[in-house]
């Protein structure tokens, strides 16, 4: 579904990603592991086409077609969606009105209940939410948008242990289920804590450091390696 070839990205004249190669097949869930400032969020933003990221070299293929020249809204219409790490607060836009605007009213109650957000549906988006509540809403927002390629930027960060289970189950269900047109989905998740690995069955993990992917392999094995040896290439 997603293929990234020799991707180099800059902000102004500062290189933030270098020679990235990554393949995400249909139906698979991959995780990105790496220290702060390693380029993980920059990679997700570049896939979606967010400013100020500028592709210097390489290409991004979605369903076999290059998308690096497409604007953000065109990529979203193709079925690429992102749960942000730090989304804005939107006064005057309730969760319920957002769902209505994207035609997802019929799924809102069920999906909100799964993430313990039923009591929030009449509230303005992210206004007065705690950090964990914001992260749960971001997962719900992406589930309601029903993209084929689901990108999650640290979805469990700041979430209490009880709700990490709900977040993991929601992510796993969204990625492993077909979209409303019956098409297979895929997911890419950034995680620092690794807690999400206990609740989703990730197919592959990638270690990122200094804007490069150093190594790819089994998610549980790589996370165990990081816990003992840091973000290094396993021997």
Percent of the chain with pLDDT over 70: 100
Task: Give the integer Cα–Cα distance in Å for 76 and 57.
Answer: 22
Residue 63, domain extent:
2-229
Average pLDDT of the residues of the chain: 94
> Do the domain assignments include residue 234?
no
The three-class DSSP label of residue 84 is: coil
Mean pLDDT of 166-176: 94
Please give the pLDDT value at position 194.
Answer: 83
177-224: per-residue pLDDT in tens?
A: 998 889 999 999 999 878 889 889 999 999 999 999 999 999 999 999
> Do the domain assignments include residue 212?
yes
> Do the domain assignments include residue 144?
yes
> Do the domain assignments include residue 235?
no
86-125: per-residue pLDDT in tens?
A: 999 999 999 999 999 999 999 999 999 999 999 999 999 9
Q: How many CA atoms lie within 13 A of 93 on its CB side?
A: 11
Please give the pLDDT value at position 172.
Answer: 94
pLDDT band at 158 (very low <50, low <70, confident <90, very high): confident
Please give the pLDDT value at position 21.
Answer: 97
Find all residues with CB under 8 Å of 84, minimum gap 6, and list them. Answer: 138, 153
> Do the domain assignments include residue 182?
yes
Alpha helices by DSSP H, the chain: 40-48, 72-78, 95-101, 105-114, 131-145, 161-176, 219-229
Please give the pLDDT value at position 235.
Answer: 79
Number of domains in the chain: 1
Residue with tokens 């990490």: 164
Burial class (CB in 10 A: 0-12, 13-18, 19+), 8: middle
13-33: per-residue pLDDT in tens?
A: 999 999 999 999 999 999 999
23 φ, ψ to 5°?
Answer: -125, 125
Which CATH number belongs to the domain containing residue 95 in this structure?
A: 3.40.50.300
């Amino acid at each position: 579904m997603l293929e990234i070839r020799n991707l180099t990205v800059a902000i102004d004249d500062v290189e933030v990603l270098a020679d990235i190669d990554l393949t995400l097949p249909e139906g698979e869930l991959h995780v990105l592991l790496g220290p702060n400032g390693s380029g993980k969020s920059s990679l997700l933003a570049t896939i979606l086409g967010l400013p100020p990221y500028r592709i210097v070299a390489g290409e991004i293929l979605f369903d076999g077609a290059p998308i690096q020249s497409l604007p953000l809204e065109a990529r979203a219409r193709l079925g690429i969606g992102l749960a942000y790490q730090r989304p804005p607060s939107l006064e005057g836009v309730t969760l319920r009105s957002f769902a209505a605007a994207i035609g997802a009213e019929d799924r809102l109650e069920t999906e909100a209940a799964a993430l313990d957000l039923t009591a929030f549906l009449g509230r303005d988006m992210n206004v007065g939410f705690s950090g964990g509540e914001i992260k749960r809403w971001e997962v719900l927002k992406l589930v309601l948008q029903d993209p084929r390629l689901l990108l999650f930027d640290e979805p469990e960060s700041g979430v209490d242990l009880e709700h990490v289970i709900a977040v993991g189950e929601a992510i796993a269900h969204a990625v492993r289920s077909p979209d409303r047109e019956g098409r297979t989905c895929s997911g890419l998740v950034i995680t620092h804590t690794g807690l999400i690995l206990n609740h989703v069955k990730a197919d592959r993990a990638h270690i990122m450091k200094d804007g490069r992917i150093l190594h790819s392999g089994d998610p549980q094995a790589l996370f165990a390696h990081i816990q003992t040896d840091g973000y290094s290439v396993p021997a």
